[in-house]
């Protein structure tokens, strides 16, 4: 009721004193845009979506996420959907205000009547007719139809806002995955370059021993093969690194060929309090607050309100009606003697009751359809709750698994480094063979790669767990 009165006062202000300020107030008289975020990133950023043309160097994960939240087509689509649904809420409020219609017509006619032999009775009529009508209709009571439609629009707005939150979470997750993949690709490239250097040194050592007559040609060829394989892996790693950089650039709204300098991969494994909670509490928390579940709940409520609106549409409505008519005609000669002017003005005001009596059972089937839609949305809600709970469970277990794998990979690195040093020393001393050295060399390269991939998986599953809880933010 307050918004209805406020809008009437604004309308009166605009009519009495038209100005740009009054027009700005009437641009959103029901203040529905207060439910819409100022940017596609919603409340994720402290500042508006304004960035330099080139990404910063080095580029951090948060730098990448900020650009994706602002420029990704999916986040902008979700933002536009919220604005559209906010306008639908304004449409729901507008039903509480009167409707005013005006119509005006102007006609010029010509009519001639001739009486041969009696010219005194002949007439030439050229009237000018002006007519204006002003109608007002204001629904005073409708047994809840407008309220149900407004509630449905409100719940759909809640769903759109929750859906926007979910889209932002997904965009954040996709960016984190792309960023961590790019980090891992860069780190793997560095590891492959080191492996190539080690393989080159082993080949040079085997070649030197062969040249000195204390090594075999088989040892030399095996070392040369291992070196060639290391070169091939390094070339492949360079291509993979460029590909992941291009994917990250596209997510940020940049060209794929733009040069990016991202931060190096880290081994930070400090457990956050969020991941130390019992999984039962995390599941309960997710079922309460996850955006997907909030969307499903709002859609159930919107469907229930829609059914109430269908039922209310079959009840009577009481309206205030008012109208004013004005009719004027002139320049009408009467027997070619003088003119006639006529002006008619009439006003009416009253109450109108509309009672739907029979609509061919259409409303009955609409109510049945709405009941089925409610059941469908409730089933979707239950399915969403199960899926969210399962995602939390799986990601929680993945976090625990990758944390253990990360610790194991550290031990593996230490062991592989020591093994390679021993094998290298034995080969140089002439007590080890080339196969022992090459195997230690291969094991060390594999250990580095496994460690990097484990760090990437560990970082990604942490973000996935936060996403499944609906709590991923900057």
Per-residue tokens: 18: 């038209």
Per-residue tokens: 107: 């006609």
**Blockwise average pLDDT, block size 10, the chain, 474 residues:** 56 54 68 89 77 84 89 92 95 93 88 70 75 94 93 95 92 91 89 88 86 84 89 93 92 86 70 57 86 94 94 93 88 56 87 91 92 95 94 89 86 89 84 84 86 87 87 72
Per-residue tokens: 428: 């140089």
**Which distant-in-sequence residues (6+ apart) come within 8 Å of 16 by Cβ?**
none
Q: How far is CA 127 from CA 67, 115, 122, 334, in A?
A: 70, 20, 16, 11
What CATH number is given for 38-97+143-312+362-469 in this structure?
1.20.1600.10
Residue 269: its pLDDT value, please?
47
Q: How many angstroms separate the most distant Cα atoms in the chain? A: 147
What residues pair up with 128 in beta bridges, in sequence order? 108, 330
Interhelix angle 279-289/291-312, nearest 10 degrees: 40
Residue 263: its pLDDT value, please?
85
Let me know: does 153 contact 91? Beta carbons within 8 Å: yes
Let me know: does 422 contact 440? Beta carbons within 8 Å: yes
Is omega for the bond preceding 58 within 30 degrees of 0, making it cis?
Answer: yes
Of the candidates 34, 60, 37, 32, the residue with the CA atom closest to the CA atom of residue 48: 37
Question: CA 330 to CA 344: how far, in whole Å?
Answer: 12
Residue 162: its pLDDT value, please?
94
Give the dihedral sign, CA 37/42/45/49.
Answer: negative
Backbone angles phi, psi at 332, to 5 degrees: -115, 95
Let me know: does 469 contact 460? Beta carbons within 8 Å: no
Let me know: does 178 contact 247? Beta carbons within 8 Å: yes
End-to-end CA distance of the chain: 39
The residue behind tokens 């604004």 is 10
Q: Would you kindly state where each structural domain of the chain is located, as residue ranges?
A: 1-30, 38-97+143-312+362-469, 98-141+316-355
Let me know: does 317 contact 351? Beta carbons within 8 Å: no
Residue 44: its pLDDT value, please?
73
**Which distant-in-sequence residues (6+ apart) come within 8 Å of 304 by Cβ?**
374
Residue 191: its pLDDT value, please?
86
Q: How far is CA 11 from CA 14, 31, 92, 98, 139, in A?
A: 5, 14, 18, 12, 18
Give the dihedral sign, CA 343/349/355/359.
Answer: positive
Let me know: does 261 contact 55? Beta carbons within 8 Å: no
Angle at 466 between CA 461 and CA 472, to 5 degrees: 125
Of the candidates 286, 30, 300, 17, the residue with the CA atom closest to the CA atom of residue 155: 300
Q: How far is CA 353 from CA 110, 129, 144, 306, 356, in A?
A: 43, 34, 15, 23, 10
Residue 10: its pLDDT value, please?
55
- For the chain, give the secondary structure using H, E and C: CHHHHHHHHHHHHHHHCCCHHHHHHHHCCCCHHHHCCCCCCCCCCCCCCCCCCCCCCCECHHHHHHHHHHHCHHHHHHHHHHHHHHHHHHHHHHCCCCEEEEEEEEEECCEEECCCCCHHHCEEECCEEEEEEEEEEEEEECCCHHHHHHHHHHHHHHHHHHHHHHHHHHHHHHHHHHHHHHHHHHHHHHHHHHHHHHHHHHHHHHHHHHHCCCCCHHHHHHHHHHHHHHHHHHHHHHHHHHHHHHHHHHHCCCCCCCCCCECCCCCCCCCCHHHHCCHHHHHHHHHHHCHHHHHHHHHHHHHHHHHHHHHHCCCCEEEEEEEEEEEEEECCCCCCCCCCCEEEEEEEEEEEEECCCCCCCHHHHHHHHHHHHHHHHHHHHHHHHHHHHHHHHHHHHHHHHHHHHHHHHHHHHHHHHHHHHHHHHHHHHCCCCHHHHHHHHHHHHHHHHHHHHHHHHHHHHHHHHHHHHCCCCC
Residue 271: its pLDDT value, please?
46
Residue 264: its pLDDT value, please?
82
């Amino acid at each position: 009721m307050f918004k209805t009165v406020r809008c009437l006062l604004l309308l009166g202000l605009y009519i009495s004193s038209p100005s740009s300020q009054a027009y700005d107030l009437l641009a959103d008289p029901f203040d529905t845009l207060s439910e819409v975020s100022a940017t596609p990133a919603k409340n994720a950023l402290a500042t508006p979506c304004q960035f330099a043309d080139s990404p910063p160097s080095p580029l951090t994960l948060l730098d990448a996420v900020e650009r994706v939240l602002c420029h990704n087509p999916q986040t902008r689509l979700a933002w536009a959907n919220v604005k559209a649904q906010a306008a639908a809420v304004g449409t729901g409020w507008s039903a509480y205000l009167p409707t005013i219609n005006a119509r005006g017509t102007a006609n010029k006619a010509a009519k001639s009547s001739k009486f041969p032999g009696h010219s005194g009775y002949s007439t030439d009529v050229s009237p000018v007719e002006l007519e204006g009508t002003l109608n007002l209709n204001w629904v005073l009571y409708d047994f809840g139809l407008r309220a149900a439609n407004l509630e449905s629009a409100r719940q759909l707005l809640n769903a759109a806002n929750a859906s926007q939150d979910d889209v932002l979470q997904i965009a954040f997750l996709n960016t984190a995955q792309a960023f961590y993949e790019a980090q891992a690709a860069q780190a793997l490239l560095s590891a492959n370059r080191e492996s190539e250097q080690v393989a080159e040194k082993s080949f040079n050592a085997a070649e030197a021993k062969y040249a000195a007559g204390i090594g075999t040609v088989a040892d030399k060829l095996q070392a040369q093969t291992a070196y060639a394989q290391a070169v091939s892996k390094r070339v492949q790693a360079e291509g993979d690194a460029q590909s992941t950089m291009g994917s990250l650039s596209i997510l940020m709204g940049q060209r794929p060929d733009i040069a990016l300098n991202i931060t190096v991969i880290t081994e930070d494994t400090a457990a956050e309090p969020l991941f130390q909670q019992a999984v039962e509490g995390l599941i309960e928390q997710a079922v309460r607050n996850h955006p997907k579940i909030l969307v499903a709940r709002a859609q159930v409520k919107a469907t229930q309100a829609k059914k109430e609106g269908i039922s209310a549409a079959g009840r009577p409505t009481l309206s205030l009606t008012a109208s004013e008519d004005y009719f004027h005609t002139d320049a009408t000669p009467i027997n070619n003697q003088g003119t006639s002017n006529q002006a008619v003005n009439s006003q009416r005001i009253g109450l109108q009751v509309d009672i739907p009596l029979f609509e061919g059972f259409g409303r009955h089937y609409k109510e049945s359809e709405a009941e089925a839609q409610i059941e469908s949305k409730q089933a979707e809600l239950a399915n969403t709750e199960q899926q969210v709970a399962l995602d939390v469970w799986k990601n929680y277990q993945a976090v625990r698994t990758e944390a253990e794998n990360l610790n194991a990979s550290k031990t593996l690195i230490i062991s592989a480094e020591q093994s390679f040093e021993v094998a290298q020393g034995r080969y140089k001393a002439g007590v080890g063979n080339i196969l022992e050295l090459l195997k230690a060399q291969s094991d060390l390269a594999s250990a580095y790669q496994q460690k990097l991939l484990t760090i990437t998986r560990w970082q990604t599953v942490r973000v996935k767990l936060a996403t499944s809880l609906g709590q991923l933010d900057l």
